[in-house]
Amino acid sequence: MEAARRDLARMRESADAWQELRYERTADGRDANEVPRAKVLWALQYDRRPGDLSLLRFLAEQEALCRRHSPHQGLGEQAALAGFLLAEHRQAEDAWRQYEIKRANFDTLLGYDVEHVFAAGVRVTIDHLRALDHPDRDKALEYLLGTGVDEERVEEWARDEREWFPEGPADEDPLTWFDRAMLVGEKDLARAELDRWASGRERDGRTLRTLCFHLMALDEFAEAARVQRESLAFADNDWDRASAWQTLAGLERRAGDHGAAWEALCECRRALEHVDGWREAGLGRQFVEELFLLAGQAEGELAKEAFAEAERQAREVPRLPPVVFEAAAEAALNIGDEAALERYP
| Tens-place pLDDT, residues 226-246 | 999 999 999 999 999 999 999
pLDDT band at 23 (very low <50, low <70, confident <90, very high): very high
CB distance 311 to 327 below 8 Å: no
Q: How far apart are CA 121 and CA 136, in angstroms?
A: 21
The mean pLDDT value for 108-122 works out to 96
Average pLDDT taken over every residue of the chain: 96
The mean pLDDT value for 301-327 works out to 96
Q: How far apart are CA 12 and CA 164, in angstroms?
A: 25
Those residues whose C-beta lies under 8 Å from the C-beta of residue 68, and which sit 6 or more positions away, are 104, 105
**Residue range 211-231, pLDDT digits in tens:** 999 999 999 999 999 999 999
* Sign (positive or negative) of CA dihedral 270, 273, 275, 278: positive
Q: Which residues of 54-66 are buried (b: 16+ CB within 10 A; e: fewer)?
A: ebbbbbbbbbbbb
CB distance 12 to 55 below 8 Å: yes
Those residues whose C-beta lies under 8 Å from the C-beta of residue 221, and which sit 6 or more positions away, are 215, 251, 252, 254, 255
pLDDT band at 344 (very low <50, low <70, confident <90, very high): confident
If we measure between CA atoms, which residue out of 141, 80, 71 comes closest to residue 113? 80
**What percent of the chain has a predicted confidence (pLDDT) above 90?**
95
> 345 pLDDT exceeds 90?
no
